[in-house]
Structure 1
Amino acid sequence: MRSFNVKNTVALKEQEEIQGKWKVGHPNSAVAFSFAYFLNNLAEVPVGIIKTAWGSSSIEAWMPRSMTQKLPLFDTIMNDFDADTQRVKRIEELMSRPDKWTNKENIFLRRNPNIIYNAMMHPLIPFACRGLLWYQGERNTRYMSGLPDVDDINWFHRVCGIKDYDQALKQWIQTYRDRWNDEEMHFMVVMLPGYGKGIESKKVIDPESPTEPSWAWMRESQAAALDLPYVTLINTIDLGDVNNIHPHDKLPIGQRAALLAAKNTLGQDVQDMGPTLKNVEIQGSELVVYFNNADGLKTTNHKAPSGFWIADESGQWTKAKAKIKGECVVLSSSEIEKPKYVRYAFAGKPNVNLVNGSELPAYPFRTDPWEK
């Protein structure tokens, strides 16, 4: 295993050189380490990992300025940034003493747009790589959509919201592919894990409800990247902590990422995904949910599947009674005579237990047409 850790730094212009060095050994990140470890075992060849990351940064921090031409929100963000001369001067002053930042200064730098990309990503282009593992999203979950009005205290919330993240992520992926000149560059998006708090306008929520303004909607925005080719989504819906935005259970994330990479970039014949929605059939007062990747469909605790909610045309959701039947799940409720729609694991921190024979969890989904 070889690893290269990019030093956390910023720049106001795109840089051509980067700070760091290769070493034989694992990267200094739990997710990067477990990904490299399991992929190294699966590949049976040396695996090289370049870790360029900065906790709590937004997707805008990793955007080149050219993306202002494709994303109006990012254009507004960068115009605000350029107009804030005091902020730019503060960044320049901190850049002059890169090894002497306080924690407050560190937080200030990583919550600005574009400047992390300039220093920590641009110099890597066009270094040969098979793909990029993207574990980010928390910073963009403060609002459902648009750019909020902010003041001097919470200026760092000036980022796109949950509803806008899907378009931002897809444009970001395509921009990176264009810059690497590699239309087949693989992107592995890590789904945000379970978390029980809401957004700025409603922080206290029912973590298991499918209608709350929760991270469920961000996961849906992340999943929208699957519209593009050579993109995979790492399912973490059974992980996380209801009260802690920094979950401790990171090893399965890397393990699942390694399976996806082995299948999609190395062409190995491995089970790389948990059950995904195939289709839903209405059968009287029951809904039958059919899955892909459902060989050996079961629950982790030998109880009935949990995390399913159903609704009729009225849009009133209720927990469903669920039972496994072969490679499908049958849903019903005494409260709904004519169920039509399903939401599974669609909550901030859902209680889930559905897996396939490879112990990989079922992916969240919803079949209703209602907007966020």
Structure 2
Amino acid sequence: MNRLCLVAAGLFSMGVLSAAAEVKMPAIFGDHMVLQGGKTIPVWGMAAPGEAVTVTLGKDTKKTKADAAGKWRVDLKAEKASTAATTLLVKGTNELTFTDVLIGDVWVASGQSNMEFGVKGSSSSAAALASGNQPMIRLFTVPRATAAYPMSDIGPIKTEGVGKWWVCTPESLGYGVWNGFSAVAYFFGRDIQKFTGMPVGLIHTSWGGTPAEAWTPYDDLQKEPLLADVAANHAKLLAGYDAAMTSLPQSIADYKEKHAAWLADVKPGNDAALKAWQARVDATPVGEPLPVRPALVPEPQMPDPTGGPNHATALYNAMLAPIIPYGIKGAIWYQGESNAGRAVAYRTLFPLMIKSWREKWGEGDFPFLFVQLADFNAQWGMLREAQSKTLSVPHTGMAVITDVGTYKDIHPPFKEIVGDRLALAAEHVAYGKKLVYSGPVYTSMKVEGASVRLSFDSVGGGLAIVKRPVSGKDVVEAPDDVLVGFTVAGDDKIWHKAMAQIVGNDVVVTSADVTHPVAVRYGWDAPPVANLYNKEQLPASPFRTDDWEK
């Protein structure tokens, strides 16, 4: 049990003791769930110490006994994916029956707000909801929660529709913490279900504005010297955790008093300043510098002994640990904005997080697919580079979306394209299909007098200039007849816009301002305005040929 739960546990001790003799299952098990096919199926829970437990799925039955701590687990034999529903039966002194269970592929979808962004907010929401009756797709959203230690089950359910499995319908697509179920996860899952023809289970667990270290196990953070400051911060929290819990009632009382005063005296001024700033933002033409967001008096925060959602390992403990080791096919990830200020550290942190998840799940190097950050008015070149470098981790894939963002909104609504590109990567990485699933990837450069020749992998049918697949308000347009997005520098490290031309499967770059070029960058501006694709209409990932600090 998470130590944060101990406060409430004492209040309900009689109920807990009476229930301890019954078999209990984590909330990730439920009616309408999808169990992972093609590999052994972990099933686990709690019972009285020594209690006999029998688990049956179809014709397979396994028996075990709860250990001294009341924990038990069985691994059922691998089952083939099937559109026919089955039943999972768990017997101890009581009996639990889970109906309408499907065998198929289960994908975990995680990250920050662009993964959390719901179907109802997407640009294709009307069509998605109209075709939302997808009985072979099942949805599960993990409720938001934080914890100082790994939890055995998900936290309290405060939002309608989360914390249980749902058959995908227009109604259940509306359940979630922000405009419904994760749009990226749904569009990805819809493509995968169409590709395989078999059931797909989507477990959505994300929280807006959170960094990758919040999703990483503490024991693995401790092993990495480059992340020593992150691990030390959590060690400090743990050292003061018991004292913080003891003083929590008084801290909450103090917070309520301060918050009431803030609401009365400060919030109106903050709201007026934000309204005026937003009006200036709305009036700013796309491509011009945006006005600086005003400095606001921060809102007092409810005291949280776990450190809150941005604290190291807090979300792994509360929103991932409770669903491990539920059988999965792989994971999709959309995150990075909150780590942009520590992009160099992300080169270490992100691969470490992937490695940690794989080790905790114990299913080997399962496919891990992620989204490179979209085009937005921010200096994200270094973070995108850190994401690209993570492709060196086995069985990973990346969806490039620097052509579907918006200049003024960090949450672009074009989530269907994001899901489609992730699914394309999954077809290759997870399912072994031979296809072009990536846009051009820079491999090498060669200086030829005053020009630079750039070579690429993943050119597919050939390099091409392609018009962006989205348009509308705040979308930065790129020409569809001239190659743009390249800059070049000499030894002085001063960057100049470059002329670029496709020559076969290469790009040749020149600039009248640089007679002796030494380095090239592509898609590095804020926001990147670039239009190099392959003929399969997949965009090239931003890159640089230098290793300069700026």
Normalised-by-shorter TM-score class: 0.7 to 0.9
Q: Which amino acid aligns with 1:340?
A: V
Equivalent residue for 1:167? 348
**Aligned amino acid, residue 131 of structure 1:** G
Preserved contact between residue 68 and residue 78 of structure 1 (Cα < 8 Å): no
Find the counterpart in structure 2 of residue 45 from structure 1: 198
Relative distance call for 1:247 and 1:310 in structure 2 (3 A) is same
Q: Quick one: distance in 2 between partners of 1:106 and 1:333?
A: 56
For residue 354 of structure 1, what is the aligned residue in structure 2? 532
Q: 1:12 aligned to 2:148? A: yes
1:318 equivalent to 2:471? Answer no
Paired residues of 2:148 and 2:238 also in contact (CA < 8 A) = no
Structure 1 residue 333 displacement after superposition:
0.9
Counterpart mapping for 1:247-262 below 5 A: 247-262=412-427
- Seen in structure 2, the aligned counterparts of structure 1 residues 163 and 250 have a Cα distance that, compared at 3 Å, is same
Structure 2 counterparts to residues 128-207 of structure 1, below 5 A: 128-141=327-340, 143=341, 161-197=342-378
Is residue 142–residue 154 contact of structure 2 (8 Å, CA) maintained in 1? Answer: yes
Aligned twin of 2:238: 82
Q: Output the CA distance in 1 between the equivalents of 2:361 and 2:548.
A: 37
Q: Is the contact made by 1:304 and 1:324 (CA closer than 8 Å) also made in structure 2?
A: no
The runs of 4+ residues in structure 1 deviating greater than 6 Å are 90-93
Q: Of the candidates 326, 329, 336, which is equivalent to residue 514 of structure 2?
A: 336
Q: Deviations over 1:207-231 (max 9, x none)?
A: xxxxxxx111111122221221112
Deviations 1:281-318 (A, max 9, x none): 22221111122222232112431211001112221111
Change (3 A) 1:109 1:87: farther
String of CA shifts for 1:74-96, please: whole Å, max 9, x gaps. Answer: 22221343356599549977xx9
* Residue of structure 1 equivalent to 2:319: 120
Q: CA–CA distance in 2 between the matches of 1:305 and 1:341?
A: 18
- Following superposition, the deviation at residue 122 of structure 1 comes to 0.4
Q: Which residue of 2 aligns with 1:57?
A: 210
* Distance in 1, Cα, partners of 2:322 & 2:368: 19
Is contact 2:396-2:429 (8 Å) kept? no
Query: Does the aligned pair in 2 maintain the 1:43–1:266 contact within 8 Å?
Result: no
Name the residue aligned to 2:168.
25
Listed one character per residue, the Cα deviations across residues 252-291 of structure 1 (whole Å, up to 9, x for unaligned) are: 1111000000111111223211111122222221111122
For 1:54, the aligned partner's letter is: W
Partner of 1:217: 382
Normalised to the residue count of structure 1, the TM-score between the two structures is: 0.82
**Contact 1:82 1:88 (8 Å CA) reproduced:** no
Change (3 A) 1:216 1:126: same
Deviation at 1:345, TM superposition (A): 0.6
| Contact preservation (8 Å) 1:67, 1:74 | no
| TM-score of the two chains, using structure 2 as the length reference | 0.56
| Alignment pair present for 1:298 and 2:464 | yes
Deviations 1:30-61 (A, max 9, x none): 11111111222222222211111111112122
Q: Which moved more, 1:353-362 or 1:9-18?
A: 9-18
Q: Who wins on radius of gyration, i.e. which is larger? A: 2
Which residue does 2:474 correspond to in 1? Answer: none
Q: d(CA) in 2 for partners of 1:324 and 1:48?
A: 43
Call closer, same or farther: CA 1:106–1:61 in 2, change over 3 Å. Answer: farther
Amino acid at match of 1:195: F
| Alignment partner of 1:228 is 2:384 | no
Q: Structure 1 residues 343, 47: closer, same or farther in 2, change over 3 A?
A: same
Q: Secondary structure at the residue paired with 1:109?
A: coil
Q: Following the alignment from structure 1 to structure 2, what is the Cα–Cα distance between the partners of residues 245 and 92?
A: 35
1:272 to 437, 458, 466: 437
Of 266-275 and 15-24, more deviation after overlay is shown by 15-24
SS of the residue aligned with 2:512? coil
Output one character per residue of 1:162-187: Cα deviation in whole Å (capped at 9) or x when no partner: 22111111111111111112332121
Aligned-CA RMSD value? 2.6
Greater RCO, 1 or 2 (C-alpha within 8 Å, sep 6+):
1
Distance 2:246 2:381 in 1: 36
Structure 1, gaps ≥5 residues long: 97-102, 144-160, 198-213
SS of the aligned residue for 2:322 comes to: helix
Q: Distance in 2 between matches of 1:41 and 1:140?
A: 34
Higher mean C-alpha displacement, 82-91 vs 348-357: 82-91
Query: What amino acid is the match of 2:531?
Result: N
CA distance in 1, matches of 2:247, 2:330: 31
The answer to whether the 8 Å contact 1:32/1:49 transfers is yes
User: Could you tell me whether the CA contact under 8 Å between 2:221 and 2:228 is conserved in 1?
Assistant: yes
- Cα offset, 1:3, TM superposition: 1.6
1:166–1:222 Cα contact (<8 Å) kept: yes
Q: Secondary structure at the match of 1:163?
A: helix
Q: Distance in 2 between matches of 1:291 and 1:23?
A: 44
Cα shift at 1:127: 1.5
